[in-house]
Structure 1
Amino acid sequence: MNRADIAAALAAFDGKHKDVLESLAARLTPDARLVRQLCDLSGQEDGKLSAAATWLLKRFQEDGLTFSEKQSEALLDLLDHAAHGEAHWETRLHLLQMLPGLTLPESRKAALLRLFKSQGYLGDPNRFVRAWSYNALAALAARFTELRGEVARLLEAGQGDEAAAVRARLRNIVKQAPWARGG
């Protein structure tokens, strides 16, 4: 399928019923060309389209696809783009959920830390985006151990969030990462 065909198929997604996306995922082979096309579509201003494209990327990752360093860089760029634009909350959520499986280069460590602490992520009005932003911070600290103290303090502060989804995600992080318990 070319980019236009994929965009047309993604446009059939109503934002709720995932069967359209499941069917499309079954018909596609997640090669480098398709990943590039989906990354491009994920950066579009059309919220439904970008959410559908990131859903497919996340699905392929869950099915065993490992993103290359170049693809990881493109997805990290999308995380940054999504924080500063009118990206649909589900686009941000899918990207955050993919983060633990991405290559996180040392050169992006400080920028990613700032990004996940920003209004576009920890300050997002959507409770699921906030919850998975904490997960992204924990993934960053798992990769860069020097960030663990700061991230542990952020995780502890997050326990005051009124959303049960955030507190539940924080409990899961602490169970999986003893360093996250803080001092």
Structure 2
Amino acid sequence: MGIEHKVESWDGKSAADIRAIYDAHSADNHFADTLIVLAFTDACEKGATWLLKAWLEAGHALNPDQISTVYASLHQLSHWEAKLHVLQCLPFLSINDAQKASVYDFLRLTLTDHNKFVRAWSYNGFYELSRQHSEYLHETRQYFDMAMRDEAPSVKARIRNIVKKGF
């Protein structure tokens, strides 16, 4: 069974099963390209984004064309966990001038998501965007200030962790 069928068949819950898919396929030459395609396929987005995040956390990197493909497709994500995984990938991805508008739009959308974990990582995404593009610094600080007044404790904790980095 190929990776697409395995990801599509994953129950969305078993960490051992998704880890087994990662272990079986992460050394494939086209692993990242395959995941990027699957990440924007409705039936596979949750599992593929989890796998992509794990791959990046393991020290691998996407090339500029792959990053562009991810950013150009952000609007296609529908599942909250897929959005969360992509937000958690942002610290591993550069954002060039041509991509910053797409990333910004995605962050604005996820900043108002009903899921508090998505919102928390959206704030982290604004931090990453403002680190790479200083024109977003003031707006990001305003979002952080508002969040520290109005957001859930878990979101505030994420912001405090960002502030500890020296933001």
Residue in 1 aligned with 2:144? 155
Which residue of structure 2 lines up, in the alignment, with residue 181 of structure 1?
none
Gaps of 5+ in 2: none
Q: Which residue of 2 aligns with 1:114?
A: 105
1:129 CA drift (Å): 0.4
1:122, 1:130 within 8 Å by CA — same for their partners in 2? yes
Q: Look up the match of 1:91.
A: 82
Distance across 2 between alignment mates of 1:128 and 1:63: 22
Checking the alignment, whether the CA contact within 8 Å between 1:79 and 1:96 is kept in structure 2 is: no
Is 1:30–1:65's contact at 8 Å kept on the other side of the alignment?
Answer: no
CA distance in structure 2 between the partners assigned to 1:32 and 1:9 by the alignment: 18
Cα 1:142/1:161, change in 2 over 3 Å: same
Alpha carbons 1:12, 1:20 under 8 Å: kept:
no
Pair 1:63 & 2:52 matched: no
Q: In structure 1, what is the equivalent of residue 129 of structure 2?
A: 140
2:15 is the counterpart of 1:18: yes
Q: Does the residue aligned with 2:23 lie in a helix, a strand or coil?
A: helix
* Displacement of 1:28: 1.4
Per the alignment, do residues 50 and 115 of structure 1 end up closer, same or farther by CA in structure 2, a change over 3 Å counting?
closer
Aligned to 2:41: 44
Change (3 A) 1:6 1:31: closer
The answer to which of 133-142 and 149-158 deviates more is: 149-158
Matched, 1:78 2:73: yes
Change (3 A) 1:141 1:31: farther
Q: Which amino acid aligns with 2:9?
A: A
Deviations 1:145-183 (A, max 9, x none): 2221111111111113342211111111111133xxxxx
AA aligned to 1:135 is N
Contact 1:141 / 1:147 at 8 angstroms: preserved in 2? yes
Shift of 1:111: 3.6
d(CA) in 2 for partners of 1:76, 1:31: 23
Q: CA RMSD in A?
A: 1.6
Do residues 126 (structure 1) and 115 (structure 2) align?
Answer: yes
Aligned to 2:153: 164
Partner SS state of residue 98, structure 2:
helix
Q: 1:101 aligns with which of 79, 85, 92?
A: 92
Unaligned runs of 5+ in 1: 179-183
TM-score, normalization by structure 2: 0.92
> TM-score normalized by structure 1?
0.84
Percent identity reads 32
- The alpha-carbon distance between structure 1 residues 153 and 30, as it changes in their structure 2 partners (threshold 3 A), is farther
Number of residue equivalences: 167
